[in-house]
Amino acid sequence: MSSFDRVASPKTVAPPPVSTDEVPEYVLELERAASYLTDEQRAQLRKAWRIGAAAHAGQTRKSGEPYITHPVAVAKVLAEQGLDVETLIAAILHDTLEDTELSHEQLTEEFGPTVAELVDGVTKLDKLQFRDRQEAAAESFRKMLLAMSRDLRVILIKLADRLHNMRTLGAQNPESRKRIARETLEIYAPIAQRLGMNLFKAELQDHGFRALHPWRHAVISKRIRTQPVMRRELLAQIEAQLAQKLAKEKLIHRLVSRVKSPWSIYTKMRTEHKSFRQVMDVFGFRVVVRNVGDCYRALGVSHATYKPLDSRFRDFIAIPKANGYQSLHTVLFGPYGSPVEVQIRTEEMDLVAERGIAAHWSYKFGGDGFNSAQNRAHHWITNLVESQRSAGSSLEFLENVKVDLFPDEVYVFTPKGDILSLPRNSTALDFAYAVHTDIGNTSVAARVDGKLVPLRTKLASGQRVDIITARSATPKPQWLEFVVTGKARTAIRQQLKQLEHEDAVQIGHRMLDRALEALDTSLERVPANRLNAYLTENRYPRLEALLADIALGNRMPSQVALTLVRERGANLKPRAEDLIDGVQDKILITGNEKGVISFASCCLPVPGDEIMGYHTAGRGIVVHRLDCPNVADYRKSPDRWVPIGWDREVHGDFHAALKIEVDNRPGALAQIAAAIAEAKANIDRVEYIERDANVAVLRFGIEVSDRRHLADVMRKVRKLAVALGVQRI
């Protein structure tokens, strides 16, 4: 993200063209960092620099340097990671498509289609118009992830771009610094962590913390630098003890102490409510050995040196993290009771831990560690791409991605013994959607370690989960309240929209059929060319879209019917009695309708009530009780009446309201609530209508299954001595 650091120089002071003989020091630094490339490849880098410098001529950074210094520095960051020549060329040219006259075709001609695609993938969407900066950033992020799905090197360039911008953030004004820092900490550092690139992640977090909270960063950094002598001596003692024991076992190893970063200390202090001293009293070491067998031997040596802390051992070698990270983690009781955190891993695991997917291009060990990190990254990005196709907007998609970026994971087993990693607080329903979207959509319950549990049950590492499905099951809107993963949330929303659309099409079809019957015809008898002409004229892609619009109240069925048959006679009008009294053609409510049928809040109908439907623009059919005071007004618009009734079997909970007069004494409200609960009805709202020293009048909003259930609730309340009167509102 570089455009926020670009300034166009006035034409009168544009710098002279770059001399073909003169090579600046910053380019030579890049070539030194890329010394692993062949001479021919380094010549390509210099060619890319010349083309980029010419294209960016006249542009400077806010620091005053020529703009080309930035993309070359980005390429140097990637060269230090050992990336291939195509990635380095794309990094040098990554802003040319967006900010210069260079075209995609020119890049393809000069450097090949791969470089051109990489540059296009990194290009942001600043030139498009969005409602606000937030939406622009979200849409840019969506595009970047689509490009990542084609080539992972896009995100490496993007992260290096962000890293260099964070290193040079001082030229920005305070407001921009805070905005960029917050975005870095919320999005880019977690992405680097998700891809296993801990070196990038740590530096991004450090720069972001310094820019967002400069005083806090300075205080913590100073405290780290000025550790007490006793702590330094204790650190040396622990290190010497571990090294001696490992050497005695003839384990070839590399032992390094780990220093916590200011950001990790700050977040630990905040999330765990610890003091600086409590956080710093934990000593950390990393043991790097030759192979997996040596890892477990080194673990045994560590546990023999100091006693392990029960329940703090984690085996990420057998069960790697979602980003491919592998290591053994243990916590020991050190001298004077100080906790000692030890990580044990192989050289290859250490490289993957530090560089993540970037390690793939620079080291070829022949093992599957890098392939694992690559495959896991591809799998994650594939899921994100699937999610973005279904998301309603780029902002919704970005929120889903943020949920998946914070990788405090639980590891659970499928019935076949496969391991799935899910974010912390994931439920059985999140697990179902992680296995397959269809399994999630048809879930009804789960078995966790053989015990039947609800779908909202939170999972813990090591559990075995089996999902119970039913063909007729469909997602419920309440599911959105407890799922954690972006994939589950997106799939549920998409399926609910689909179900609403199907209901709308079915009800719209019946409404249009009925309007056409009033004109002595039917939808099947309307000529195909006339129907197609109507759809085209009103910009409906297909008949289903028109029928859904009718059901939602955006088109009146009688008017559509008249238009479709108007050539038979100009004075055709539907018969009012057919519109109002067609009892045999009533739309029957089952309780499963979504988005098309709603229940009026003025009279709150429940199954068993005499009802009528009123066609309302944008809301579909609103159901009223026939004794509702508003029905008299609706009689003035007979064309909007919809014959409606209850199906034989109606499922679901329906809202009702009771006005209850009670003896105003302590405990009266509790007695009323207990009676309603005893009748197996839910209370969703209670409010006082009137209240004095002796009598209180309350309005209870409750949920019942039908009219009989409501009568049972009222009967139980009337039996109470404190209840002076009960009536339905």
Q: Which residues are catalytic?
A: 98-99
For residue 327, with 0-12 CB atoms within 10 Å meaning exposed, 13-18 middle and 19 or more buried, which class applies? Answer: buried
Residues 6+ apart with CB under 8 A from 483: 427, 429, 430, 433, 489, 492
Give the start-end residues of each E strand in 26-160.
59-61
Q: At what angle do helices 69-79 and 39-55 cross, to 10 degrees?
A: 150
The bridge status of strand 641-642 relative to strand 644-646 is: unpaired
Neighbouring-strand partners of residue 464: 413
Spatial separation of the C-alpha atoms in residues 332 and 310, rounded to whole Å: 9
Maximum Cα interatomic distance, the chain, rounded to a whole number of Å: 105
Q: How far is CA 417 from CA 313, 420, 458, 521, in A?
A: 22, 10, 19, 61
Tokens matching residue 469: 């499905």
Q: How far is CA 548 from CA 506, 515, 543, 611, 647, in A?
A: 8, 15, 9, 23, 21
Q: What are phi and psi of 177, to 5 degrees?
A: -60, -45
Cα 16 to chain centroid distance, Å, stands at 48
**Closest listed residue to residue 195, CA positions, set 352, 366, 57:** 352
C-beta of residue 388 within 8 angstroms of C-beta of residue 397? yes
Q: At what angle do helices 174-183 and 198-212 cross, to 10 degrees?
A: 150
Neighbouring-strand partners of residue 612: 624
Tokens matching residue 515: 């309007």
SS3 for 594? coil
SS3 for 21? coil
What is the dihedral sign for C-alpha 552, 555, 556, 558? negative
Spatial separation of the C-alpha atoms in residues 181 and 167, rounded to whole Å: 11
3-state SS, one letter per residue, for 514-542 = HHHHCCCCCHHHCCHHHHHHHHHHCCCCC
Angle at 566 between CA 565 and CA 571, to 5 degrees: 120
Spatial separation of the C-alpha atoms in residues 526 and 118, rounded to whole Å: 53
Q: Of all helices (H) and strands (E), which one includes residue 46?
A: helix 39-55
Spatial separation of the C-alpha atoms in residues 594 and 477, rounded to whole Å: 10
Q: What are phi and psi of 313, to 5 degrees?
A: -90, 130
**Closest listed residue to residue 196, CA positions, set 349, 419, 421, 330:** 349
Amino acid identity for residue 504 in this structure:
A
**Closest listed residue to residue 86, CA positions, set 150, 158, 147, 154:** 154
For residue 231, with 0-12 CB atoms within 10 Å meaning exposed, 13-18 middle and 19 or more buried, which class applies? Answer: middle
C-beta of residue 477 within 8 angstroms of C-beta of residue 493? no
**Closest listed residue to residue 503, CA positions, set 598, 608, 603, 634:** 598
C-beta of residue 69 within 8 angstroms of C-beta of residue 19? no
DSSP string computed for 368-391 = SHHHHHHHHHHHHHHHHHHHHHH-
Give the start-end residues of each E strand in 54-94.
59-61
SS3 for 477? helix
